[in-house]
């Protein structure tokens, strides 16, 4: 009665101009996920409510005023329709009231099941939908809807829009929740990793109107082992379990909704409000140390060997060595800063990206493979690239410009690697304002460049390098082979992402590029006409190489997981729903967040998971293994990383049976560390 009275009052007090507009405010239609359903099968149907801008419809709990959308089905005999699957709503304050509903074009999903005896052919699913749509006034609307559907085999793939609609549905919480009723309601989510990740916003939507004062603020705070949301308790709070939906918003704007069924219980004291658990000074220190350690990663060593060769060419050091070291440092730091700025901008635009995100794009992997192949050709003497020239020119050219681009190249090849301390610093950076995030990337670049900058500025350290000599030419040529190996590895990564078609395109691009540089080099000794023809032919071949790389985007995605050797350990793909299901069964769960382009991940696979002892431990303790393959961008895996304070792979989580939260294993993993976590 109270709700109806409020609606009646709103209608009486609305401006006359608003009441004159009698055009429909919502256009409704039914959409099926598939074009057909088999006898006895189920198809998901969406009720789409395309709502006029400025108006809104309502959630299952409309809040202080309003009414939820209803669907009355008229189905053929034996057909059944399930309950509405409601996406997480939006808080819609109206003066002193708080409503919960939807703007734009929400999809309400319903599973419709055909009887096993359904005859092949066309049927029509009919429904009468009614909804209340409000702005300055509230207008009840309804419509008779029909959806033709074939009974039989599907001819078309599922509508991909349904995956996006399901991503907005609340899922079972992987973390335990409870609340304490005092003057306020303190809802506690027990998860140290979630507290460390520091979501930028958390909102609770109650299952009914007698739990909280919706118009009052909801205050996010943090305890030592989880996060707390302080709510204004309703005057007639009934006690019992606290039900509803909790929506978490990450720094990149991505959201995850969790079903809440929290019993009453003791909650810890609040350790902090929205202040950060990691200080800026500590994050900068971690970033600097992580940058130092990144120099030891296998993906970076070939480029560092080239830089050592360049420094050795200066013999006793002097001004040239200092200038090149400084230029190398500026290049490395500028590259880290550019990467950080790109990630910050993409995340601000809603993209769920992190460290190494560019290698999730096949065209970037192909372009990088071509770049590394080109550096290899330069080191082999096929052509000369400033800073990577051969023999005696190495001592006379390259200089500051070559050193600058060497620093940038070193950072580019470091992208597939993460180092200890680095992940925590990056996880902190992407929860902070842009200036602080860039400061962390500056510290990371400074740590990465520090060893060679120190060598260049310290003659004593430079004296430790070998004297210049004829050996440098052979050593430079030998360095080409790690670069060729790196290009082979990148082509393998591409095979994981787009399959054989993408590999063929990149190999063709490499061939075209090799032809371009050979024509260029061979035609330099010809006459003017020969040089002109050679330049034109070289340009055509080079543009063909670029066109072939661009065509990689059209190659079909590969459905395979990252191809690493887990044959001894049964596994299945990760999903938040699967993790929640296994934990509800009190199973031990090991989550391996990996990617085909992550060298650290691949090394860990060989070192930590390949032994029979680890496989036996998994079998002995009935540990379910979930592979979170981040080779191609996956928002669900991105949320998993963010929930545990990480911005890239690898990430290893062990959920013991009944444990409140996961044990996070080291990024540099050993067989002993895995066995210790499993209790073997």
Residue 159 has a CB neighbour count (10 Å cut-off) of 16
Please report the pLDDT score of residue 506 as a whole number. 86
Query: Measured between alpha carbons, how far is 311 from 142 in angstroms, rounded to an integer?
Result: 77
What pTM did the predictor assign?
A: 0.46
pLDDT grade, residue 246 (50/70/90)? very high
Rg (alpha carbons) of the chain, rounded to whole number? 30
Q: What is the pLDDT of residues 257-273, one digit of tens each?
A: 999 999 998 888 664 44
Helix (H, G, I), strand (E, B) or coil at 64: coil
Pairing mode, strands 184-190 and 177-181: antiparallel
Complete domains list, the chain, with CATH: 2-161 (2.60.40.1250), 171-262 (2.60.40), 280-554 (no CATH), 572-678 (3.40.30.10)
Q: Please tell me the distance from the alpha carbon of residue 39 to that of residue 36, in angstroms, as a whole number.
A: 10
Contact between 414 and 276 under an 8 Å Cβ cutoff? The reply is no
Q: Which of 69-78, 512-521, 643-652 bottoms out in mean pLDDT, i.e. has the lowest? A: 643-652
Q: What are phi and psi of 206, to 5 degrees?
A: -70, 150
Cβ pair 194, 273 in contact under 8 A? no
Which neighbouring-strand residues pair with 625? 590
pLDDT in tens, 149-194: 999 988 888 898 998 899 899 999 889 999 998 888 999 999 887 8
- Answer yes or no: is pLDDT of 119 > 60: yes
Q: What is the DSSP annotation of 202-226?
A: EEEEESSTTSB-TTS--EEEEETTE
Predicted confidence at residue 468, as pLDDT, reads: 59
Instruction: Tell me if 63 sits within 8 A of 209, measured CB to CB.
Output: yes
| Peptide linkage before 265 cis (omega within 30 of 0) | no
The Cα–Cα gap between 237 and 245 comes to 17
**Residue 416 clears pLDDT 90, i.e. is over it:** no
Q: How far is CA 422 from the centre of its chain?
A: 17
- Residue 8, pLDDT above cutoff 60: no
Q: How confident is the model at residue 91 (pLDDT cuts 50, 70, 90)?
A: very high
Residue 563 has pLDDT above 50, yes or no: no
Lowest mean pLDDT among 161-170, 283-292, 468-477: 468-477
DSSP states of 19-38 as a string?
Answer: HH--S-SEEEEEEESSSEE-
- The encoded tokens of residue 345 equal 């901008």
Taking only the tens place, the pLDDT of each residue in 130-151 is: 999 998 788 999 999 999 999 9
Name which residue leads in pLDDT, 429 or 560. 429
pLDDT at res. 31: 96
Report the C-alpha gap between 379 and 402 in whole angstroms: 13
Mean pLDDT over 101-122 rounds to: 95
Token look-up 């950060």 returns 276
626 φ/ψ angles, rounded to the nearest 5 degrees: -115, 130
Q: Spell out the SS3 assignment of 507-519.
A: HHHHHHHHHHHHH
What is the pLDDT confidence band of residue 305, given thresholds at 50, 70 and 90? Answer: low
Average pLDDT over every residue of 599-628: 84
Confidence of residue 276 (pLDDT cuts 50, 70, 90): very low
DSSP state of 14: S
Phi, psi torsion values for 296, nearest 5 degrees: -90, -5
CA–CA dist 29, 48 (Å, integer):
5
Pick the closest to residue 667 from 575, 593, 617, 613 (CA basis): 593
φ, ψ dihedrals at 598, nearest 5°: -95, 105
Q: Which has the higher per-residue pLDDT, 57 or 328?
A: 57
Would you tell me how many other CB atoms lie within 10 Å of the CB of residue 672? 12
Mean pLDDT of 441-450: 87
Q: What angle do CA 300, 306, 311 make, to 5 degrees?
A: 120
pLDDT given at position 274: 40
- Check: CB of residue 69 under 8 Å from CB of residue 129: yes
d(CA 57, CA 212): 21
Q: What is the DSSP string of 645-675?
A: T-SSS-EEEEE-TT-SSPEEPPSS--HHHHH
List the structure tokens of 84: 């509405």
- 3-state SS, residue 469: coil
Give the H/E segment covering residue 92.
strand 90-94
pLDDT band at 647 (very low <50, low <70, confident <90, very high): low
* pLDDT digit string, tens, across residues 340-391: 787 767 655 545 555 555 666 777 778 878 887 887 887 787 876 544 443 3
Spatial CA neighbour of 55 closest among 88, 97, 23: 23
Does residue 131 or residue 418 have the better pLDDT? 131
Question: Which phi and psi angles does 133 have, rounded to 5°?
Answer: -120, 130
Query: pLDDT at residue 295 above 60?
Result: yes
Q: How far apart are CA 549 and CA 374, in angstroms?
A: 14
- Distance of alpha carbon 102 from alpha carbon 133, whole angstroms: 10
Q: Residue 470 to residues 382, 393, 399: CA-CA distances in angstroms?
A: 19, 12, 20
Q: What is the pLDDT of residue 591?
A: 93
Confidence of residue 212 (pLDDT cuts 50, 70, 90): very high
Q: Which two tokens mark 468?
A: 């210049």
Average pLDDT over residues 422-432: 66
**205 - beta bridge partners?**
245
pLDDT per position as a tens digit, 54-83: 999 999 999 988 999 999 999 999 999 999
Alpha helices by DSSP H, 277-318: 280-294, 301-312
DSSP secondary structure string for all residues of 501-568: HHHHHHHHHHHHHHHHHHHHHHHTTS-HHHHHHHHHHHHHHHHHHHHHHHGGGGSPPP-PPP----TT
Question: In this structure, are residues 149 and 36 in contact, taking their beta carbons and an 8 Å threshold?
Answer: yes
DSSP state of 603: H
Geometric angle at alpha carbon 223, from 217 and 229, rounded to 5°: 20
Residue 483: pLDDT over 90: no
What's the confidence (pLDDT) of residue 461? 65
Q: Count the alpha carbons within 13 Å of 62 in the hemisphere toward its beta carbon.
A: 21
| Cβ atoms within 10 Å of 9's Cβ, excluding its own | 11
Report yes or no: 167 and 51 within 8 Å, Cβ to Cβ. Answer: no
pLDDT given at position 369: 81
Greatest mean pLDDT among 357-371, 453-467, 561-575 lies in 357-371
User: So what's the pLDDT on residue 349?
Assistant: 52
């Amino acid at each position: 009665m109270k709700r109806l009275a409020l609606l009646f009052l709103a209608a009486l007090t609305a401006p006359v101009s608003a009441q004159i507009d009698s055009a429909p405010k919502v256009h409704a239609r039914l959409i099926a996920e598939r074009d057909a359903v088999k006898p006895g099968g189920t198809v998901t149907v969406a009720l789409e409510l395309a709502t006029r801008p400025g108006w809104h419809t309502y959630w299952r709990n409309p809040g202080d005023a309003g009414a939820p959308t209803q669907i009355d089905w008229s189905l053929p005999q034996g057909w059944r329709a399930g309950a509405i699957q409601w996406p997480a709503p939006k808080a819609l304050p109206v003066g002193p009231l708080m409503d919960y509903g939807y703007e734009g074009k929400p999809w309400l999903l319903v599973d419709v099941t055909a009887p096993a005896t359904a005859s092949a052919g066309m049927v029509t699913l009919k429904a009468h939908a009614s909804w209340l749509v409000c702005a300055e006034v509230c207008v009840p609307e309804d419509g008779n809807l029909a959806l033709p559907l074939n009974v039989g085999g599907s001819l078309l793939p599922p509508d991909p829009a349904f995956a996006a609609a399901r991503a907005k549905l609340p899922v079972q919480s992987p973390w335990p929740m409870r609340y304490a009723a005092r003057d306020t309601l303190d809802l506690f989510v027990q998860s140290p990793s979630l507290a460390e990740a520091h979501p930028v916003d958390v909102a609770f939507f109650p299952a009914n109107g007698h739990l909280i004062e919706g118009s009052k603020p909801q205050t996010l705070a943090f305890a030592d082992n989880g996060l707390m949301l302080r709510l204004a308790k309703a005057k007639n709070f009934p006690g019992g379990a606290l039900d509803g939906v909790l929506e978490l918003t990450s720094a990149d704007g991505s959201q995850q909704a969790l079903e809440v069924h929290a019993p009453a219980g003791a909650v810890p004291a609040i350790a902090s409000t929205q202040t950060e658990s990691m200080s800026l000074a500590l994050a900068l220190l971690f970033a600097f140390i992580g940058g130092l350690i990144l120099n030891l990663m296998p993906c970076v060593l070939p480029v560092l060997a080239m830089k050592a060769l360049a420094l050795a060419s200066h013999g006793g050091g002097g001004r040239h060595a200092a200038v090149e070291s400084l230029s190398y440092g500026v290049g490395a730091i500028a590259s880290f800063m550019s990467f950080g700025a790109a990630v910050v901008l993409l995340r601000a635009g809603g993209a769920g990206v992190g460290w190494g995100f560019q290698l999730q794009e096949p065209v970037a992997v192909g372009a990088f493979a071509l770049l590394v192949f080109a550096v290899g050709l330069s080191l082999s003497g096929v052509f000369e690239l400033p800073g990577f020239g051969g023999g005696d020119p190495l001592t006379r050219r390259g200089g500051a410009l070559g050193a600058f681009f060497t620093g940038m190249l070193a950072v580019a090849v470091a992208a597939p690697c993460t180092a200890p301390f680095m992940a925590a610093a990056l996880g902190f950076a992407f929860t902070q304002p842009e200036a602080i995030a860039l400061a962390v990337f500056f510290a990371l670049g400074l740590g990465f460049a520090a060893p060679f900058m120190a060598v260049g500025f310290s003659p004593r350290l430079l004296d430790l390098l070998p004297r210049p000599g004829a050996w440098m030419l052979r050593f430079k040529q030998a360095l080409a082979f790690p670069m060729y190996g790196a290009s082979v590895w990148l082509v393998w990564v591409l095979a994981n992402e787009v399959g054989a078609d993408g590999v063929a395109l990149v190999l063709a691009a490499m061939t075209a590029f090799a032809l371009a540089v050979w024509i260029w080099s061979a035609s330099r000794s010809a006459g003017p006409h020969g040089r002109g023809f050679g330049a034109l032919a070289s340009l055509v071949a080079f543009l063909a190489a670029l066109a072939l790389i661009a065509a990689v985007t059209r190659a079909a995605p590969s459905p395979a997981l990252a191809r690493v050797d887990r044959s001894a350990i049964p596994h299945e793909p990760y999903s938040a729903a699967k993790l929640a299901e296994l934990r509800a069964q009190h199973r031990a769960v090991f989550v391996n967040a990996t990617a085909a382009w992550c060298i650290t991940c691949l090394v860990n696979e060989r070192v930590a998971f390949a032994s029979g002892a680890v496989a036996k431990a998994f079998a002995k303790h009935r540990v379910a293994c979930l592979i979170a393959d981040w080779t191609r961008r996956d928002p669900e895996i991105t949320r998993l990383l963010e929930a545990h304070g990480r911005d890239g792979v690898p990430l290893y989580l062990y959920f013991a049976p009944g444990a409140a939260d996961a044990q996070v294993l080291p990024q540099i993993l050993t067989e002993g560390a895995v066995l210790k976590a499993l209790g073997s």
